[in-house]
Amino acid sequence: MNVTLNKHEIVIFKGATIGDLVLAYSAKSFKMMQAGKLCVLDRFGNRTEPDGPVYEGQMFFLKRVEQTVPVKLSL
């Protein structure tokens, strides 16, 4: 089936997960997603989970996760 990730059409097997899709797109991106540095958004901008299903014709986008820096309060 054909699915779009970051404007690249990817042919992937039926029953694939979003994690499988990212791995088919890029091993480096998959590792970054597993480490929490990237997230996958659907075409509406909703964050998805790596174990979520993928269906024919869907569109997804990778986005860097903004890391928050802990603030130290001094008294």
Q: Dump pLDDT digits (tens) for 47-59.
A: 999 999 999 999 9
Q: Is residue 72 part of a domain?
A: no
Q: Is residue 73 part of a domain?
A: no
Give, as one character, the DSSP assignment of residue 23: H
| Token representation of residue 32 | 């970054």
Q: Is residue 25 part of a domain?
A: yes
Domain holding 46, by residue range, is: 2-64
Q: Is residue 22 part of a domain?
A: yes
Cα distances (angstroms) measured from residue 71 to each of 25, 37, 38, 66: 36, 20, 23, 15
Supply the CATH number for residue 60's domain. 3.10.20.30
| Token representation of residue 75 | 């008294």
Q: Is residue 69 part of a domain?
A: no
Percent of the chain with pLDDT over 70: 92
Report pLDDT digits (tens) over 34-43.
999 999 999 9
One-letter identity of residue 40:
V
**pLDDT at residue 60 tops 90:** yes
The total number of structural domains in the chain stands at 1
